[in-house]
């Protein structure tokens, strides 16, 4: 190996670096000069064949050359970037002939759209809209609603219990109790919110949305309740709906009914439960059953939305799939 040749090589490389005027060319040159097959690296491989004294001399020389080249490349890169930023600031302009950048617009989630429509309908016929408690105690979620201690809905398989007394509410019906305790009669409210049940498949999820309706007044009967539900569903589905009422059982209403809507495949799908508030519930709230009567209903918002938009899998609402959500712009 020749010391003069290495010196001359290093000076030549530094001169070339000074004449480079783009980051792209600089990076390309850096890879060629400092890569594993570069001139200096081939010399490093040959050091092992030298005697001890020459190993020290050439080792120091080559390392110093590599460090000097790296430093010059770093300074040149810094200079080019600074110069580019300065020129860009001076020459910056707008080309009005270029096409504009398309801004991405979000959309209202289909569940939110349904909630807005539901609130608008009931507000326009005189209902107050209230919010409720998602973490509830056993009394408001079960006992006060005339749900017995041995009812299957209390099981761990159905309900998310936090401890022996506190749970994630299984229905928005808990708001009936809060309203009857804290509001003067008569009342006419809906409460919309999340409820939780230990269930998961294409038509059930552990969390979903319900709307709870409650009317307590002196002159209320089942015909009033049917009128409200029929007109709401016709409004929600733009009159394109076939529905039926059928007898059912709920611990907190008597008589009770479920309402089904006919799907496009001709099958009936249950979407809500309703009925006249059970006298035991009114008595629990110390309301005079001889003077006041109540009616109530609970509606599954996901079910309504699936029927309205032809959605087959309930899980689509919660997976943040943009291709699905963009259909609702």
Map residue 172 onto helix, strand or coil: coil
Q: Is 114 exposed, middle or buried (0-12, 13-18, 19+ CB in 10 A)?
A: buried
| pLDDT at 119 (0 to 100) | 95
DSSP 82-150: HHHHHHHHHH----TTSPPPPPP-----HHHHHHHHHHHHHHHTT-EEE---SEEEHHHHTGGGT--TT
| pLDDT at 88 (0 to 100) | 65
| pLDDT at 245 (0 to 100) | 94
Domain boundaries, the chain: 3-91, 110-328
By DSSP bridging, strand 253-262 and strand 166-168 are: unpaired
Q: Does the pLDDT value for residue 41 go beyond 70?
A: yes
CA distances from 107 to 131, 191, 237, 258, 267 (A): 24, 24, 21, 33, 31
Map residue 183 onto helix, strand or coil: coil
CA-to-CA distance for 156 and 163, rounded, in angstroms? 11
What 8-state DSSP symbol labels residue 192?
E
- 47 Cβ contact list (under 8 Å, min separation 6): 55, 58, 59, 62
Q: Does the pLDDT value for residue 80 go beyond 90?
A: no
CA-to-CA distance for 193 and 191, rounded, in angstroms? 7
Q: What is the pLDDT of residues 204-222, one digit of tens each?
A: 788 989 999 999 999 899 9
Q: Does the pLDDT value for residue 149 go beyond 90?
A: no
Pick from 302, 299, 175, 312: which is nearest to 230 by CA?
A: 299
Would you give the distance in Å from CA 282 to the centre of its chain? 39
What is the rounded average pLDDT of the residues 95-120?
83
Write out 197-255 in H/E/C secondary structure: CCCCECCECCEEEEEEEEEEECCCCHHHHHHHHHHHHHHHCCCCCCEEEEEEEECCEEE
Q: What is the pLDDT of residues 259-274, one digit of tens each?
A: 998 887 888 888 899 9
Superfamily of domain 110-328, CATH level 4 = Bira Bifunctional Protein; Domain 2 (3.30.930.10)
CA angle 103, 105, 110 (to 5 degrees): 170
Q: What's the sign of the alpha-carbon dihedral 175, 178, 182, 185? A: positive
Question: Which of 82-96, 116-130, 194-208, 253-267 is predicted with the least confidence, judged by mean pLDDT?
Answer: 82-96
Pick from 165, 166, 153: which is nearest to 199 by CA?
A: 153
CA distances from 314 to 303, 306, 327 (A): 8, 7, 15
| Residue 95: pLDDT band with limits 50, 70, 90 | low
């Amino acid at each position: 190996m020749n010391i003069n040749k290495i010196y001359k090589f290093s000076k030549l490389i530094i001169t070339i670096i000074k004449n480079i005027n783009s980051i792209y060319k600089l990076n390309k040159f850096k890879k060629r000069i400092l890569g594993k097959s570069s001139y200096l690296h081939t010399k490093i491989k040959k050091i092992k064949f030298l005697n001890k004294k020459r190993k020290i001399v050439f080792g120091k020389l080559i390392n110093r050359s590599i460090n000097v080249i790296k430093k010059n490349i770093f300074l040149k890169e810094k200079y080019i970037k600074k110069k580019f930023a300065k020129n860009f600031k001076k020459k910056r302009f707008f080309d009005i002939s270029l096409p504009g950048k398309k801004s991405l617009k979000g959309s209202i989630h289909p569940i939110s759209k349904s909630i807005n429509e539901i609130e608008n309908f009931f507000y326009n016929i005189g209902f107050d809209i209230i919010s409720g408690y998602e973490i509830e105690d056993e009394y408001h979620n079960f006992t006060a609603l005339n749900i017995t201690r041995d009812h299957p809905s209390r099981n761990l398989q159905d309900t998310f219990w936090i401890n022996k007394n506190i749970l994630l509410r299984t229905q928005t019906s808990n708001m009936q109790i809060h309203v009857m305790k804290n509001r003067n009669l008569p009342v006419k409210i809906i409460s919309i919110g999340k409820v939780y049940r230990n269930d998961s498949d294409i038509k059930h999820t552990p969390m979903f949305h319900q709307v709870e309706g409650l009317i307590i007044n002196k002159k209320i009967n089942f015909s009033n309740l049917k009128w409200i539900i029929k007109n709401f569903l016709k409004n929600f589905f733009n009159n394109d709906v076939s529905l039926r009422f059928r007898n059912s059982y709920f611990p907190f209403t008597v008589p009770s009914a479920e309402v089904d809507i006919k799907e496009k495949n001709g099958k009936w799908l249950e979407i809500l439960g309703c009925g006249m508030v059970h006298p035991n519930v009114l008595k629990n709230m110390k309301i005079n059953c001889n003077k006041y009567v109540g009616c109530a209903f609970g509606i599954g918002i996901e079910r309504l939305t699936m029927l309205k938009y032809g959605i087959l899998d309930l899980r689509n609402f919660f997976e943040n799939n943009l291709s699905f959500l963009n259909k609702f712009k």
